[in-house]
Amino acid sequence: MSTVTIYHNPKCGTSRNTLAMIRNSGVEPEVIEYLKTPPSRETLVSLIAATGQPVINAVRSKETLFTELNLGAPGVTDDQLIDAMLAHPILLNRPIVVTPQGTRLCRPSEAVLDILPQPQQGAFTKEDGEVVIDAKGQRA
């Protein structure tokens, strides 16, 4: 069993880059495609709390449903946001990565570097061509 878990959407470039950086550290994570296997309420609440960020940061505000459901309105509670993410997993901001060093919403993807249990094993360039790790395994 891996000590690293990623809540992943393979259609998301940030999520793909994050997964690739995890693998570039020599770790094969547990990959949870949360659109196919959404987290339970307990798991979702625990993940968000572990990031240390407000619940609203875990919601994809750019998603059309966010506006349709009026989730940005004054007075919307954390419980209402969590209910929306449970009912519509596409609203969950991604990727969320859990390691022994912590839990992060990895936006930008290189935020994962702060919590990986092992250093990068080689150079890494994002899908858009941005160099993140140089040939010496150091942040660019």
Q: What is the pLDDT along the chain (140 residues), one digit of tens a residue?
A: 679 999 999 999 999 999 999 999 999 999 999 999 999 999 999 999 999 999 999 999 999 999 999 999 999 999 999 999 999 999 999 999 999 999 999 999 999 999 999 999 999 999 999 999 998 888 98
For the record, the structure tokens of 81 come out as 């946001």
CA-based diameter of the chain, in Å?
49
This prediction's pTM:
0.94
The DSSP 8-state label assigned to residue 40 in this structure reads P
Q: Are 3 and 28 in contact (CB under 8 A)?
A: no
Give the separation between CA 107 and CA 37, rounded to whole angstroms: 21
Q: Collapsing DSSP states into helix, strand and coil, what is residue 125?
A: strand
Catalytic residue among 12, 19, 71, 106: 12
Cα distance between residue 47 and residue 51, in whole Å: 6
Known active-site residue 12:
yes
